[in-house]
A and B are shown apart, each in its own frame.
Chain A
Amino acid sequence: MLHVAVEIPYWGQSLLRVLGGIAAVLLPAGTIVYLFLFKMMSFMQSRLGPMEAGPFGSMQLFAEVGKWLQKEDIIPENADERIYKMAPIIVLVSTFLLVVVVPFGPDAWFTNFSAGVFYALAIGSVSVIGILVAGWSSANKYSLLGGLRAAGQLIAYELPMVLAVVGVVIQAGSMNLQDIVVAQNTGSIFGWDGIGFPFVITQFLGFLIFMIAVQAELTQVPFDMPIAESELVSGYMTEYSGFRFLIFFIGEFATAGVFAFIASVLFLGGWGVPFAWFGWDSLDQVDNWMNIGGPLIMLTKMMVLTGIIMWVRFSYPRFREDQLQRFAWKVLIPLSLANIAVTAIVKVAI
Chain B
Amino acid sequence: MPKVPGLVKGLGVTMGTLFRTVKEGADTVQYPHAKEAPPVRARGVIALREDNCTACMLCARSCPDWCIYIEGHKQLAPPRRAGGKPRQVNHLDRFDIDYALCMYCGICVEVCPFDALFWSPEYEYSEPKIADLLHDKTKLGEWMETVPEAPELEAGAEKKK
Shortest Cβ gap from A348 to chain B (Å): 30
Q: Mark A44-67, 1 if CB is under 8 A from B, else 0.
A: 111110010000000000000000
Q: Find out whether the CB atom of A44 lies under 8 angstroms from the CB atom of B27.
A: no
Q: Find out whether the CB atom of A47 lies under 8 angstroms from the CB atom of B26.
A: yes
Of the residues B7, B10, B21, B30, contact of A46 by C-beta under 8 Å? B21
Contacts of B13 in A (CB 8 A): 315
Q: Find out whether the CB atom of B30 lies under 8 angstroms from the CB atom of A51.
A: yes
Contacts of A182 in B (CB 8 A): none
Of the residues B11, B22, B27, contact of A47 by C-beta under 8 Å? B27
Which residue of A is nearest B19, CB measured?
A43
Given A51-B30, A316-B7, A46:B14 Cβ within 8 A: no
Q: Find out whether the CB atom of A40 lies under 8 angstroms from the CB atom of B18.
A: yes
A42 to B20: give the CA distance in the assembly, Å.
12
Q: Find out whether the CB atom of B17 lies under 8 angstroms from the CB atom of A311.
A: no
Q: Find out whether the CB atom of B7 lies under 8 angstroms from the CB atom of A44.
A: no
A311 to B26: give the CA distance in the assembly, Å.
18
Q: Find out whether the CB atom of A315 lies under 8 angstroms from the CB atom of B14.
A: yes
A48 to B30: give the CA distance in the assembly, Å.
8
B107 interface hit (Cβ, 8 Å) = no
Main secondary structure of the interface of A (DSSP, over half): helix
A311 to B11: give the CA distance in the assembly, Å.
7
Interface residues on B, range: 10 to 19
Contacts of A316 in B (CB 8 A): 7, 10
B42 interface hit (Cβ, 8 Å) = no
Q: Find out whether the CB atom of B11 lies under 8 angstroms from the CB atom of A48.
A: no
Given A46-B28, A47-B28, A48-B26, A315:B11 Cβ within 8 A: yes
Contacts of A42 in B (CB 8 A): 21, 26
Q: Find out whether the CB atom of B21 lies under 8 angstroms from the CB atom of A43.
A: yes
Contacts of A283 in B (CB 8 A): none
A83 to B18: give the CA distance in the assembly, Å.
42
B89 interface hit (Cβ, 8 Å) = no
Contacts of A43 in B (CB 8 A): 17-18, 21-22, 26
A44 to B19: give the CA distance in the assembly, Å.
8
A42 to B22: give the CA distance in the assembly, Å.
11
Q: Find out whether the CB atom of A44 lies under 8 angstroms from the CB atom of B10.
A: no
Q: Find out whether the CB atom of A46 lies under 8 angstroms from the CB atom of B27.
A: yes
Contacts of B10 in A (CB 8 A): 315-316
Shortest Cβ gap from A130 to chain B (Å): 31
Shortest Cβ gap from A297 to chain B (Å): 25
A337 to B136: give the CA distance in the assembly, Å.
76
Contacts of B17 in A (CB 8 A): 43-46
B15 interface hit (Cβ, 8 Å) = yes
Q: List 13 A-B contacts (CB under 8 A).
A: A40-B18, A43-B17, A43-B22, A45-B17, A46-B17, A47-B28, A48-B28, A51-B30, A311-B11, A311-B14, A312-B11, A314-B14, A315-B14
Binding site for A on B (CB under 8 A): 7, 10-11, 13-15, 17-18, 20-22, 26-28, 30
Binding site for B on A (CB under 8 A): 40, 42-48, 51, 311-312, 314-316
Closest 3 CB pairs of A and B: A47-B28, A43-B21, A44-B14
Q: 9 new A-B pairs (CB below 8 Å) besides A43-B21, A311-B11?
A: A43-B22, A44-B14, A45-B17, A46-B27, A47-B28, A48-B26, A311-B15, A314-B14, A316-B7
